[in-house]
Amino acid sequence: PAAPRINPSILAADFVNMQAELARIATADFAHVDVMDNHFVPNLTFGPQMVERIQATSPIPLDVHLMITDPERWAPGYAELGAASVTFHLEATTDPVGLARTLRGIGARAGVAIKPGTAGEPLYDILDEFDQILVMTVEPGFGGQGFMPETMPKLRALADEAKRRGSDVWLQVDGGISDATIGQAAAAGADTFVAGSAVYGAHDIEAAVTRLRGLARA
Ligand code: DX5
Ligand code: ZN
Protein backbone atom coordinates (compact mmCIF):
# COMPACT_ATOMS: atom_id res chain seq x y z
CA PRO A 1 0.00 0.00 0.00
CA ALA A 2 1.15 3.53 -0.81
CA ALA A 3 2.01 6.13 1.82
CA PRO A 4 0.59 7.50 3.95
CA ARG A 5 -0.28 4.12 5.44
CA ILE A 6 -2.73 3.84 8.33
CA ASN A 7 -2.28 0.74 10.52
CA PRO A 8 -4.99 0.36 13.15
CA SER A 9 -3.78 -1.30 16.34
CA ILE A 10 -6.02 -4.17 17.37
CA LEU A 11 -4.83 -3.66 20.94
CA ALA A 12 -7.81 -1.28 21.12
CA ALA A 13 -10.24 -3.86 19.65
CA ASP A 14 -12.61 -6.18 21.50
CA PHE A 15 -10.46 -9.32 21.83
CA VAL A 16 -13.40 -11.73 22.00
CA ASN A 17 -14.94 -10.36 18.81
CA MET A 18 -11.73 -10.31 16.83
CA GLN A 19 -13.18 -11.52 13.54
CA ALA A 20 -15.69 -8.67 13.46
CA GLU A 21 -13.12 -6.18 14.75
CA LEU A 22 -10.74 -7.11 11.90
CA ALA A 23 -13.54 -6.74 9.34
CA ARG A 24 -14.11 -3.17 10.57
CA ILE A 25 -10.61 -2.09 9.46
CA ALA A 26 -10.78 -3.57 5.96
CA THR A 27 -10.08 -0.20 4.30
CA ALA A 28 -6.92 0.42 6.31
CA ASP A 29 -3.44 -0.63 5.16
CA PHE A 30 -2.15 -3.13 7.73
CA ALA A 31 -3.58 -4.54 10.96
CA HIS A 32 -1.04 -3.65 13.67
CA VAL A 33 -0.67 -6.54 16.11
CA ASP A 34 0.97 -5.75 19.47
CA VAL A 35 2.62 -8.79 21.05
CA MET A 36 3.64 -8.14 24.68
CA ASP A 37 5.32 -10.54 27.07
CA ASN A 38 5.06 -8.84 30.50
CA HIS A 39 8.84 -8.74 30.50
CA PHE A 40 10.04 -6.30 27.88
CA VAL A 41 6.92 -4.26 28.74
CA PRO A 42 4.69 -4.46 31.85
CA ASN A 43 1.70 -5.84 29.94
CA LEU A 44 0.67 -9.09 28.32
CA THR A 45 -1.36 -9.67 25.15
CA PHE A 46 -1.14 -12.79 23.02
CA GLY A 47 1.30 -15.04 21.21
CA PRO A 48 1.76 -16.96 17.98
CA GLN A 49 -1.31 -19.17 18.27
CA MET A 50 -3.63 -16.17 18.43
CA VAL A 51 -1.73 -14.30 15.73
CA GLU A 52 -1.98 -17.32 13.43
CA ARG A 53 -5.79 -17.09 13.69
CA ILE A 54 -5.67 -13.33 13.18
CA GLN A 55 -3.56 -13.89 10.06
CA ALA A 56 -6.13 -16.37 8.75
CA THR A 57 -9.01 -13.99 9.47
CA SER A 58 -7.75 -10.50 8.67
CA PRO A 59 -8.87 -8.86 5.41
CA ILE A 60 -5.60 -6.87 5.35
CA PRO A 61 -1.95 -7.86 5.92
CA LEU A 62 -0.48 -8.00 9.41
CA ASP A 63 2.10 -5.62 10.85
CA VAL A 64 3.37 -7.45 13.94
CA HIS A 65 5.03 -5.35 16.66
CA LEU A 66 6.97 -7.51 19.11
CA MET A 67 7.41 -5.92 22.53
CA ILE A 68 9.22 -8.97 23.88
CA THR A 69 12.59 -10.09 25.12
CA ASP A 70 14.43 -12.80 23.21
CA PRO A 71 13.05 -11.83 19.78
CA GLU A 72 15.51 -14.26 18.14
CA ARG A 73 13.46 -17.07 19.56
CA TRP A 74 10.01 -15.80 18.58
CA ALA A 75 10.19 -13.37 15.65
CA PRO A 76 10.84 -15.94 12.89
CA GLY A 77 7.63 -17.78 13.79
CA TYR A 78 5.54 -14.69 13.05
CA ALA A 79 7.19 -14.35 9.65
CA GLU A 80 6.55 -18.05 8.99
CA LEU A 81 2.85 -17.77 9.80
CA GLY A 82 2.58 -15.14 7.10
CA ALA A 83 2.81 -11.72 8.77
CA ALA A 84 3.66 -9.10 6.15
CA SER A 85 6.01 -7.34 8.54
CA VAL A 86 7.64 -8.28 11.81
CA THR A 87 9.14 -5.53 13.98
CA PHE A 88 11.34 -6.27 17.00
CA HIS A 89 12.84 -3.81 19.48
CA LEU A 90 16.44 -2.67 19.10
CA GLU A 91 16.73 -2.66 22.90
CA ALA A 92 15.89 -6.39 23.04
CA THR A 93 18.62 -7.79 20.80
CA THR A 94 22.37 -7.71 20.36
CA ASP A 95 22.16 -8.68 16.68
CA PRO A 96 19.50 -6.55 14.94
CA VAL A 97 21.06 -7.06 11.52
CA GLY A 98 21.19 -10.84 11.85
CA LEU A 99 17.57 -11.01 12.96
CA ALA A 100 16.42 -8.68 10.16
CA ARG A 101 18.17 -10.88 7.62
CA THR A 102 16.47 -13.96 9.05
CA LEU A 103 13.05 -12.28 8.77
CA ARG A 104 13.68 -11.15 5.20
CA GLY A 105 14.90 -14.63 4.33
CA ILE A 106 11.51 -16.00 5.40
CA GLY A 107 9.78 -13.41 3.24
CA ALA A 108 8.60 -10.80 5.74
CA ARG A 109 9.39 -7.12 5.85
CA ALA A 110 11.87 -6.59 8.68
CA GLY A 111 11.25 -3.79 11.15
CA VAL A 112 13.18 -2.38 14.08
CA ALA A 113 11.54 -0.31 16.82
CA ILE A 114 13.06 2.18 19.26
CA LYS A 115 11.58 3.41 22.52
CA PRO A 116 11.28 7.17 23.17
CA GLY A 117 14.57 7.24 25.12
CA THR A 118 16.58 5.26 22.55
CA ALA A 119 18.76 7.17 20.11
CA GLY A 120 18.27 6.80 16.37
CA GLU A 121 21.91 7.30 15.33
CA PRO A 122 22.99 3.65 15.77
CA LEU A 123 20.56 2.79 12.97
CA TYR A 124 22.03 5.20 10.41
CA ASP A 125 24.70 2.85 9.10
CA ILE A 126 22.38 -0.16 8.96
CA LEU A 127 19.24 1.47 7.47
CA ASP A 128 19.34 -0.78 4.41
CA GLU A 129 19.02 -3.87 6.58
CA PHE A 130 15.43 -2.88 7.47
CA ASP A 131 12.21 -2.33 5.57
CA GLN A 132 10.73 -0.17 8.29
CA ILE A 133 11.80 1.71 11.40
CA LEU A 134 9.29 2.24 14.18
CA VAL A 135 9.82 5.35 16.27
CA MET A 136 7.72 4.88 19.42
CA THR A 137 5.83 8.05 20.30
CA VAL A 138 4.81 6.69 23.73
CA GLU A 139 6.49 4.30 26.14
CA PRO A 140 5.49 0.87 24.79
CA GLY A 141 3.06 -1.24 26.78
CA PHE A 142 -0.35 0.39 26.69
CA GLY A 143 -2.79 2.02 24.31
CA GLY A 144 -4.46 5.33 24.96
CA GLN A 145 -1.38 7.27 26.13
CA GLY A 146 -0.46 10.81 25.14
CA PHE A 147 1.75 11.46 22.10
CA MET A 148 5.32 12.52 23.02
CA PRO A 149 6.30 15.44 20.75
CA GLU A 150 9.87 15.26 22.07
CA THR A 151 10.39 12.18 19.85
CA MET A 152 9.92 14.26 16.69
CA PRO A 153 13.51 15.56 16.31
CA LYS A 154 14.76 11.94 16.31
CA LEU A 155 12.19 11.00 13.66
CA ARG A 156 13.13 14.01 11.54
CA ALA A 157 16.83 13.14 11.78
CA LEU A 158 16.11 9.54 10.72
CA ALA A 159 14.03 10.81 7.79
CA ASP A 160 16.84 13.17 6.72
CA GLU A 161 19.38 10.38 6.99
CA ALA A 162 17.21 7.98 4.96
CA LYS A 163 16.79 10.61 2.27
CA ARG A 164 20.52 11.38 2.23
CA ARG A 165 21.27 7.71 1.71
CA GLY A 166 18.57 7.21 -0.91
CA SER A 167 16.89 4.64 1.36
CA ASP A 168 13.27 3.67 0.82
CA VAL A 169 12.83 2.46 4.42
CA TRP A 170 9.36 3.18 5.80
CA LEU A 171 9.23 5.37 8.91
CA GLN A 172 6.48 4.40 11.30
CA VAL A 173 5.13 6.09 14.42
CA ASP A 174 3.14 4.35 17.15
CA GLY A 175 1.44 5.81 20.21
CA GLY A 176 -0.98 8.67 20.70
CA ILE A 177 -1.58 9.14 16.97
CA SER A 178 -4.87 10.98 16.43
CA ASP A 179 -6.42 13.72 14.31
CA ALA A 180 -4.62 16.19 16.58
CA THR A 181 -1.12 14.68 16.34
CA ILE A 182 -0.77 12.87 13.00
CA GLY A 183 0.14 16.06 11.15
CA GLN A 184 3.20 16.66 13.36
CA ALA A 185 4.46 13.13 12.78
CA ALA A 186 3.90 13.40 9.02
CA ALA A 187 5.71 16.74 8.92
CA ALA A 188 8.66 15.14 10.73
CA GLY A 189 8.88 12.45 8.05
CA ALA A 190 6.67 9.52 9.09
CA ASP A 191 4.89 7.70 6.27
CA THR A 192 3.21 4.90 8.27
CA PHE A 193 0.93 5.59 11.22
CA VAL A 194 -0.25 3.19 13.89
CA ALA A 195 -3.45 4.26 15.63
CA GLY A 196 -5.35 2.25 18.22
CA SER A 197 -7.79 4.30 20.23
CA ALA A 198 -8.21 6.92 17.48
CA VAL A 199 -9.51 4.23 15.13
CA TYR A 200 -11.37 1.78 17.37
CA GLY A 201 -12.75 4.62 19.48
CA ALA A 202 -14.40 6.18 16.44
CA HIS A 203 -18.10 5.66 15.65
CA ASP A 204 -17.32 5.35 11.95
CA ILE A 205 -14.00 3.52 11.57
CA GLU A 206 -13.83 3.81 7.79
CA ALA A 207 -14.30 7.59 8.05
CA ALA A 208 -11.66 7.80 10.79
CA VAL A 209 -9.10 5.96 8.63
CA THR A 210 -9.85 8.20 5.64
CA ARG A 211 -9.60 11.32 7.80
CA LEU A 212 -6.26 10.25 9.30
CA ARG A 213 -4.90 9.57 5.80
CA GLY A 214 -5.97 13.00 4.66
CA LEU A 215 -4.40 14.70 7.67
CA ALA A 216 -1.15 12.79 7.13
CA ARG A 217 -1.06 14.05 3.53
CA ALA A 218 -1.74 17.69 4.37
C1 DX5 B 1 1.71 0.60 22.61
C2 DX5 B 1 1.41 -0.13 21.33
C3 DX5 B 1 0.58 0.66 20.40
C4 DX5 B 1 -0.81 0.99 20.91
C5 DX5 B 1 -1.15 2.35 20.38
O6 DX5 B 1 2.71 -0.05 23.30
O7 DX5 B 1 2.62 -0.43 20.65
O8 DX5 B 1 0.49 0.03 19.12
O9 DX5 B 1 -1.79 0.09 20.52
O10 DX5 B 1 -2.36 2.74 20.93
P11 DX5 B 1 -2.88 4.26 20.83
O12 DX5 B 1 -3.00 4.60 19.36
O13 DX5 B 1 -4.18 4.23 21.53
O14 DX5 B 1 -1.83 5.12 21.50
ZN1 ZN C 1 2.48 -1.14 18.55
Its ipTM equals: 0.99
Please, are residues 211 and 204 in contact by the beta-carbon 8 Å criterion?
A: no
The residue range of the domain holding 67 is 5-217
Please, are residues 144 and 12 in contact by the beta-carbon 8 Å criterion?
A: yes
Q: The dihedral of CA 204, 210, 214, 217: what is its sign?
A: positive
pLDDT at 218: 83
The verdict on whether 34 is a catalytic residue reads yes
CA atoms within 13 A on the CB side of 212: 33
Instruction: Collect all residues with Cβ–Cβ distance below 8 Å to 198 and sequence separation of at least 6.
Output: 177, 178, 179, 208, 212
pTM above 0.80, yes or no: yes
User: Given ligand 1 and candidates 30, 34, 35, which is best to mutate, with the most ligand atoms within 8 Å of its CB?
Assistant: 34
Number of structural domains (the chain) is 1
End-to-end Cα spacing for the chain: 18
Q: How far from 111 is each of 45, 138, 166, 178, CA to CA, in Å? A: 20, 18, 18, 22
Q: Could you tell me the mean pLDDT of each successive run of 10 residues in the chain, 218 residues long?
A: 97 98 98 98 98 98 99 98 99 98 99 98 98 98 98 98 98 98 98 98 98 96
Question: 197 in ligand 1 pocket by Cβ < 6 Å?
Answer: yes
Please, are residues 133 and 109 in contact by the beta-carbon 8 Å criterion?
A: no
State the catalytic residue, choosing from 29, 34, 37, 63: 34
Please, are residues 162 and 139 in contact by the beta-carbon 8 Å criterion?
A: no
Residue 99 phi, psi dihedral angles, 5° rounding: -70, -40
Closest atom, ligand 1, to C-alpha of 177: 12
CATH code (residue 28) = 3.20.20.70
Residue 174: closest CA among 203, 150, 195: 195
Please, are residues 113 and 89 in contact by the beta-carbon 8 Å criterion?
A: yes
